[in-house]
Amino acid sequence: MTQSSWELTKQRSAYHFDNFKFDPDQDKVTYLGNVDPFWQDELANIIQLAKPKTWRTRGKEGNERPANEYEEEDYDLEQFGYGKDYVISDLSWKVPETFNKVALWFGMDNCKMRLHVQRPGQVWNLHLDKLEKWNLEDPARVMRVMIALNDWEPGHFWSYGNHVHTAWRAGDVTTFDWQNLPHSTANAGHGPRITLQITGVVTDKTRDFLRILRSRSPYCV
């Protein structure tokens, strides 16, 4: 019998999974600072680059997941009523070169960037990330960062545990406890939610930059 990806990832999470509990140490998004937006002229191109993706097609071409992972995720999608072929967001692993400097700022090892353009009606359902593959020996060093590329609009939201994150500004930089925190995002608004996602292994250079980012916000190029 196919196993549930949701149930498997919950087993290694330390989250409380109490719908009516709010723990400020867990139910939160972590604000890291703000980058002065330099990408306004790129937004139309970014929207064009991103293409509709499902859970099965969300990954970078050539980086296939084990077959059982797809089966476990498909099982959940069918059980929850989404259907395995629904579109979660428009995505692109091809990122304009102007963002290469951002990857250098963060100084992560094995750094990957992905553009998220979540259009009205698209939903990335509640889940726990599986980022262990970035650093199997020490998964705690893996970090996932989101940079908002456009301002929040009513109808846009992220959930981090029982916390609902809204009202961000373009350039806001956030992260979260990916190992433990269930999260989701949806667009019930009128325009796209555009985000740059960066994932990699934290280094001393990363820690140095985060200290600078916190003290010089907005961080100007």
pLDDT digits (tens, 9 = 90+) for 152-200: 999 999 999 999 999 999 999 999 999 999 999 999 999 999 999 999 9
Least confident of 3-17, 60-74, 96-110, 182-196: 60-74
Give yes or no for residue 221 having a pLDDT over 70.
Answer: no
Q: What does DSSP assign to residue 97?
A: G
* pLDDT, tens digit, 9 for 90 and up, residues 40-80: 999 999 999 999 999 999 998 778 888 999 999 999 999 99
Q: What does DSSP assign to residue 170?
A: T
* pLDDT in the model for residue 61: 77
Q: Quote the strand ranges of the chain, DSSP E.
A: 30-34, 51-53, 89-92, 109-118, 123-127, 142-148, 156-160, 163-165, 172-175, 183-187, 193-201
Average pLDDT over residues 100-109: 96
Query: Residue 117 is which amino acid?
Result: V
Nearest of 115, 114, 106, 169 to residue 143 by alpha carbon = 106
- 155 close to 211: Cβ distance less than 8 angstroms: no
* pLDDT in the model for residue 134: 95
Average pLDDT over residues 84-106: 96
Report how far residue 109's alpha carbon sits from residue 106's, in angstroms, rounded to the nearest whole number.
9
- 220 close to 37: Cβ distance less than 8 angstroms: no
pTM: 0.96
Report how far residue 91's alpha carbon sits from residue 119's, in angstroms, rounded to the nearest whole number.
11
Q: Quick one: pLDDT band at residue 17, thresholds 50, 70, 90?
A: very high
Give yes or no for residue 207 having a pLDDT over 80.
Answer: yes
Q: Look at 216 and 169; give whichever has higher pLDDT.
A: 169
Report how far residue 191's alpha carbon sits from residue 202's, in angstroms, rounded to the nearest whole number.
33
Cα–Cα distance list, 98 to 39, 95, 106 (Å):
8, 8, 15
* pLDDT in the model for residue 62: 77
* pLDDT, tens digit, 9 for 90 and up, residues 114-158: 999 999 999 999 999 999 999 999 999 999 999 999 999 999 999
